[in-house]
Amino acid sequence: MADRLTGMDVFVRAIRLGGISAAARDLHMSPAMAAKHLDALEARLGTTLVQRSTRRLSLTEAGTDYLEKAERILMEIGEAEAEASSRSITARGLLRVSAPATFGVLHLASLVPTFSARHPEVTIELGFNDRYVDLLEERWDVAVRIGRLADSALVARKLVAMRVVLCAAPAYLERRGTPTRLADLGDHDCLGHTNASLAGTTSWAFGKDGTIKVPISGSMCSDNGEALVRAAIAGQGLVYGPRFIAAEALRAGQLSELELDEPPMMLGAAYAITHPTRRPAAKTRAWIDFLAEALPALGTDW
C-alpha cells in the first residue's frame, strides 16, 4: 500500500510540478527512483498515464481521469493525518507568509503578537508583495490572496469577505459636489491605481460583476492603495478600492462613503492559499486557523 501511494504521489507531483525530476526533488528521492514508482503504478493499473518525452510529460485520457481521483485521495489522506496528529504535534519552526502589501502592513502585521503568544515556537517571516508568488518555487508556506480566485489546483480557505467602496473627504465633496450617478464621475478627480485593472487610471468597473466600465481621469495615481486613501483624506479626489484600506478613515469621518446609481463591483474575499502537493505542517495549519478566527472579528466593516 505504501508503494501504491508513493507511485500515486509521484504521478501527481510530476504533472503539477512539470516533470519527474521536479517531483523527485519535492519527495527527496532520486529521479530514477521516482521513474520506477511511476512505472510500477502504470504496470499495476495496466495502462499508460503519461506520455514522456525529453522535455515534457503529457497526460493520456486515462491519466487525465486518474489525476483528479488521485489528487482527491492524497488530499483526503493528508487531511485525515493532519486532523489525527493536530493534537499531538506542536507548531514550531519558520513560517513564511506571503500577502498583498497594503493588507499585510495594515492588518496582518498587527496580528502577529497574538499568534506568537499562542505559538511561541513559531518564527514568522512576512513577505508583502502585490504579485502572485509561486508557493513552491519561492518556498512560501502559505499565501493570503484577495479577490475572486481563478480556477487552479491550489487549496484555498476563505478567511473574510471583502467589499469595494467609493469615497471622498467631506471637504472635497463640499468643494466639488457629491456624485450620485456614474455619469458624474467625469466631473471629478478620480485617484486611479496603476496596478488595478478594474479600478485603474482610465476606467473604473461597477456593477456586481464589474461589467459596467466608466471612464475616469484624475490629477494623481499610485501603485499603492493606502497612498491613494491618504491623498483622498487630504482632499485630492475620489478613491475607489477595497474597503479594508479605507475602513479606519470612514469610521473616523475623514472619508464619506458614496452611493451611485450602480453598486460597486464585488471584490470577493481574502483566502489562505496552500499547495496541494504539500501537506500543511502544524505551523501552517495553526496560522490559517488563527486567521480564520481573527480576521472576521477584525474586519466587521470590510
> What distances in angstroms separate CA 32 from CA 2, 18, 22, 60, one per listed residue?
18, 16, 12, 22
Question: Which residues make beta-bridge pairs with 97?
Answer: 126, 142
Q: Which residue has the higher pLDDT, 83 or 156?
A: 156
**Taking the complete model, does pTM exceed 0.75, yes or no?**
no
- The residues facing 102 across adjacent strands are none
Sign of CA dihedral 177, 180, 183, 188: positive
DSSP symbols for 117-169 = HH-TTEEEEEEE-SS---TTTTT-SEEEEEEPPPS-SSEEEEEEEE-EEEEE-
Instruction: Please state which architecture CATH assigns to domain 93-301.
Output: 3-Layer(aba) Sandwich (3.40)
Q: How far apart are CA 300 and CA 302, in angstroms?
A: 6
How much is the pLDDT for 152?
67
Whether the per-residue pLDDT at 151 is higher than 70: the answer is: no
Q: With 80 as the cut, is the pLDDT of residue 302 above it?
A: yes
As a whole number, mean pLDDT of residues 196-209 equals 90
Residue ranges of the alpha helices (H) in the chain? Answer: 2-17, 20-27, 31-45, 61-85, 101-103, 112-118, 170-176, 225-233, 243-251, 282-298
Residue 142 pairs in a beta bridge with 97
| Range scoring the smallest mean pLDDT among 124-128, 134-138, 192-196, 258-262 | 134-138
Task: Give the number of other Cβ atoms within 10 Å of residue 170's Cβ.
Answer: 13
Domain ranges of the chain: 4-85, 93-301
Position 2 pLDDT exceeds 70 = no
Write down the CATH number for the domain with range 4-85.
1.10.10.10
**Long-range contact pairs involving 192-201 (C-beta distance under 8 Å, separation at least 24):** 192/216, 192/218, 192/221, 193/221, 193/222, 193/223, 193/225, 193/228, 193/241, 194/221, 194/222, 194/223, 195/130, 195/223, 196/241, 198/265, 199/164, 199/240, 199/241
Q: Measured between alpha carbons, how far is 234 from 93 in angstroms, rounded to an integer? A: 43
> Helices 2-17 and 61-85 meet at what angle, rounded to 10?
110
% of the chain beyond a pLDDT of 70: 94
Mean pLDDT of the chain: 89
